[in-house]
Amino acid sequence: MHQVWLNGQLSDQISVTDRGISYGDGLFETIRIRDGKPELLDAHLARLEKGLAVLRFPAETLEIVKSDLSTLTLSGDAVLKLVITRGQGERGYALPLTTQPSRVMILSPGKNDNSKASGIRARFCDYRLAINPALAGIKHLNRLEQVMARSEWTDPDISEGIVCDSEGFLVEGTMSNLFWVSASGTVFTPGIERCGVSGVMRDFLIHCLADLGIECQVGLYTPEALLSASEVFFCNSLIHIWPVSELEGRSFSPGPVIQQLQSRLKQVLV
């Protein structure tokens, strides 16, 4: 059962004039809670702070969110979703003269499921992400592109889809970031300077790779790069790492890079 707070008070009622509803004017973070502790909380808050600055929210917004978080009593395994909107506003796109952001916290049961740690089926999506460097990286509320990409399949055996940008370069999964390993052992991941989300787990794994002495290259790559890879995997804050076992008829197995990263996550986060 969900618990929902609006502006620090138990409530699931938000105004129909809220700009988050009207325009997707806001941001969100989804945080994994394990044994009552938020994983990578500082990284989530850092990304939220960057997004608030990009969207020109009041400077004090992050401190208010932190105050809201301090009132929570967390236990066991759960998922905490933070949604920050511009708040109520009149019709029209112009920013309100006075902004009073709405802060929503949704706490849901979150049993940690490791059933996909050995591998998943994935596919390429036909839908393409628009290139927009101004909003690239931040986790804003406008997720219609991801909704459209995810709508392309209903097969429950396919767990994730890979999305390219409008020029055909790899970006990410519909709900995750993407990595792959070449035959020589070099790790690759698409850059997110043009579009896509700068995932908290993506950044964490890039640091882990550096600590392990494994080269990681970030750049523009086409889908063909995946079909010649030795390992492919997705990541986000909730799933941690999902190795790909099948992609467009090609089979993969979790190799030494995935195994080292999974081991490192168990040491650091579990």
Domains of the chain from N-terminus onward: 3-109 (3.30.470.10), 120-269 (3.20.10.10)
**Number of neighbours of residue 180 by Cβ within 10 angstroms:** 24
179 pLDDT band, cuts 50/70/90, is very high
Whether pTM exceeds 0.85: yes
**Predicted confidence (pLDDT) at residue 111 exceeds the cutoff of 90:** no
C-alpha 267/C-alpha 101 separation (Å) is 38
Catalytic residues: 30, 139, 172
* pLDDT tens readout for residues 186-231: 999 999 999 999 999 999 999 999 999 999 999 999 999 998 999 9
Tokens 């459209």, residue located: 148
C-alpha 269/C-alpha 101 separation (Å) is 32
C-alpha 13/C-alpha 51 separation (Å) is 25
Radius of gyration in angstroms for the set of CA atoms belonging to the chain, rounded to a whole number? 19
For Cα atoms 176, 206, 230, give the angle at the middle one, nearest 5 degrees: 75
From 4, 9, 105, 95, select the one nearest 48 (Cα to Cα).
Answer: 105
The three-state DSSP-derived secondary structure of 213-255 is CCCEEEECCCCHHHHCCCEEEEEECCCEEEEEEEECCEECCCC
18 and 253 Cβ atoms separated by less than 8 Å: no
